Structure 1
Amino acid sequence: MAIDLVYGWQPSPNVRGTIDILWSCLFTIFLCTWSALHLNIRSPSENYWIYTLRKARWMVQTLTGPEFVVWFACGQRYEANLSVKMFQEIGCSEWTIRHGFYANMGGIRLKAPDFPPFPITARHLHYLVDQGYTTFPKISMEEVWDKSKADLFTKTLVCVQICWQVMQVVARFVQNLPVTSLELTTLSYVVCALAMYFMWLDKPLDVETPTIIEIETTIKDILVRAGPAAAQPYEQSPLDFVDNLAPCWWINVQKYLFFRVDPRERPMQRLTNDKFPMVGVGFEIFYYAMVAHGFAGIHVAGWNFDFPTPLEKILWRAASLTICGLMVVISFLEGASDWHRRNRGLSLRTWLFRDNLDSLDRRPSREDAMAHPDFVPYWEFLAFVPTTLVYSAARLYLMLEVFLELRALPRRAYLSVQWTNFIPHV
């Protein structure tokens, strides 16, 4: 009869398995791409599952191009900050960046005697208050934040997991242990997630019930008093002459691709999440450039990783350099687009030659430019299509390679970090 040997205290094995690498990285990526998203309020006719599917779609978008979601977040913060300045100009000092986010995400709905309620942006509300159609809404900053579903437990869980993943990667570099491309890619998602958290720090999360503002003036009277500016039929809402929500993927780009334009209700019952940001030249644009190039640069850090075959190493290097280079191209194209929409060429010519100073006063406003049919010009569309296709191909390879590499990792890649080596001792 065999006798079972008895052992006392045994240390944990100093190894990890493939499933450990996958679970840790994929769970971190899920938290970075799901919990960091702050989407706009759904329309009254949509249920929770439609909103969840929309968030899942944006999660996929964040998986494929997290730096572009950071771009949207930067633009939304810029617009919210801009609304604060606009309200301060008319003496409404109580308006904060949190109010700006709340309004621009569809948190305020206008109810007129002759029209069904529809969401309005901060620009719409500013116009209504400035023209005396309504008083400044008595919505405190605390009331706005009370509608947010962000809870301390979820944020703590995300931060703990993110910190643990970063510590793992840094510790492996310090102890000269191989880092997998999946772990390196996870680190790039962490950078973008933290950037989104920062940009959306004042944006309420998963708001369900908007604020209703009732006015006694009819929409018809508002349009008549606005004069020629409101003479054209509206496309999104009756207040298009103030802010027509352009430029936007669904509204302005889908038509070039002959796709269905959503949402189909008119007036629009929700503000879409894909409005292209116009951040100008300020903190947001430099912040985005730093994050986007940091995201691309992290992939270059895997230049000398031990890939299963030499061809895979070459392809990784080529793809990582491609996304780095294309980020510069995309930044240039975004700058050119902003230059076009804001008509900065006229301003530059006037500043350089000083021969037509009054032309500065005659240049079209942002609202006039947005109303122009060429607000999203064909040259911008044609320039972005090949750039986006090449970028997508490079990103697709990088996303596939992080899993292909797991079939043949070096032996030391399965060794765990010796945390006791970081404890000072004699």
Structure 2
Amino acid sequence: MGGLEMWHHSPGSLPVLRTLSPNGVRKLAAANPTPLKIPVSTIEDRSKADTIQKGLVLLQVAWMALQCITRKALGLPLTLLELHTMVHVVCAMVMYAFWFEKPLDLRNAELLNHADFGDVALDEHTDFYPRRGNMPEYKLSWVLRGNVKEMFGSSNSLLTALLFVLPLVYGGVHLSAWGFEFPTPAEGACWKAACVFIALALVVWWLVHWVCLFAELVLLHLCGLDLEYFTDWNLIVTGRVFFFVCMLCRLYIVMEAFVSLRAVPIGVYWTPSWIQTIPHV
């Protein structure tokens, strides 16, 4: 989206048009909320999609989900590509449910007049305008030891839970293809291994994280050995390895979903006739 823009005046330089960060918008709203009250009609007029277009997208993805569910209920086989697509179809439906009223592809920003906000508009703090590369530096051990509150102010338990739950769901749904017919046994074994790794990688790394911390504390109290540096680098290496392997597993799932189409059961080509009467692309 275009967002909100304002001319940024710095001493000794020409004014620069800058996009406001969320913190910048909040500060301006606290000073004078009136200029920020943009009419809904103005936003909707700039949107590249209306309710009909969004409804057609939902109808298409709903048709895809319905025909897969119906065929499975009738005992017909599904392809790996259909299963993989279903995961993203469900995600698309959830996103559209939350973002149905969100305007699409707003490229032109709303220009604000800095004179409406007084001295607040002259704020040059790093959180007023989004700048890349201005993240403060933190000790690596803070990141590894989960000191989120010290780094970012607060932690969100919901986001933390989703961080663990979503990979479990993603890997679990793909693992439901356990009984599918694969072109070769090796491809089936690789598919299952990839799904299990994606589902459990973060959980295993989290357990390794706490085991290392516990071992570090035990050795520090019993033997006087300070292994904090070793523990931190051990977590870095294992984290990067897990991340790299997880990306390979995701890539394999996508590739195998298409490659497996070379040898599929004949039943995947049959669809109940009544489903074809529903408008779709």
TM-score, normalization by structure 1: 0.46
State whether residues 293 and 324 of structure 1, in contact with CA within 8 Å, keep that contact through their aligned partners in structure 2: yes
Matching residue of 2:67: 168
Residue 303, structure 1, aligned to residue 178, structure 2: yes
Change (3 A) 1:402 1:138: closer
- Which whole-Å CA distance do the structure 1 matches of 2:76 and 2:153 have between them? 43
Letter of the structure 2 residue corresponding to residue 159 of structure 1: L
- Which whole-Å CA distance do the structure 1 matches of 2:186 and 2:16 have between them? 61
Matching residue of 2:87: 188
Matching residue of 2:6: 110
Matching residue of 1:127: 27
Structure 1 residue 142, shift from structure 2 partner = 4.3
Matching residue of 1:319: 194
Matching residue of 2:56: 157
- Which whole-Å CA distance do the structure 2 matches of 1:380 and 1:195 have between them? 34
Structure 1 residue 147, shift from structure 2 partner = 2.8
Give the SS at the match of 1:111. Answer: strand
State whether residues 4 and 112 of structure 2, in contact with CA within 8 Å, keep that contact through their aligned partners in structure 1: yes
State whether residues 48 and 103 of structure 2, in contact with CA within 8 Å, keep that contact through their aligned partners in structure 1: yes
State whether residues 297 and 320 of structure 1, in contact with CA within 8 Å, keep that contact through their aligned partners in structure 2: yes
- Which whole-Å CA distance do the structure 2 matches of 1:213 and 1:221 have between them? 10
State whether residues 113 and 215 of structure 1, in contact with CA within 8 Å, keep that contact through their aligned partners in structure 2: no
Find the partner of 1:392 among 247, 255, 267.
247
Structure 1 residue 311, shift from structure 2 partner = 0.9
State whether residues 169 and 179 of structure 1, in contact with CA within 8 Å, keep that contact through their aligned partners in structure 2: yes
The C-alpha deviation readout for 1:372-413, integer Å capped at 9, x for no partner, is: xxxxx9999766532321111101111111122111112333
State whether residues 149 and 204 of structure 1, in contact with CA within 8 Å, keep that contact through their aligned partners in structure 2: yes
Matching residue of 2:122: 222
Matching residue of 2:125: 239
Structure 1 residue 152, shift from structure 2 partner = 2.5
**Higher helix fraction (1 or 2):** 2
Change (3 A) 1:179 1:129: closer
Change (3 A) 1:308 1:119: same
Change (3 A) 1:117 1:172: same
Letter of the structure 2 residue corresponding to residue 394 of structure 1: C
Change (3 A) 1:299 1:385: same
Change (3 A) 1:404 1:157: same
TM-score, normalization by structure 2: 0.67
State whether residues 175 and 417 of structure 1, in contact with CA within 8 Å, keep that contact through their aligned partners in structure 2: no
- Which whole-Å CA distance do the structure 2 matches of 1:187 and 1:389 have between them? 25
Matches within 5 A, 1:228-307: 238-240=124-126, 242-243=127-128, 245=130, 280-281=155-156, 286=161, 290-307=165-182
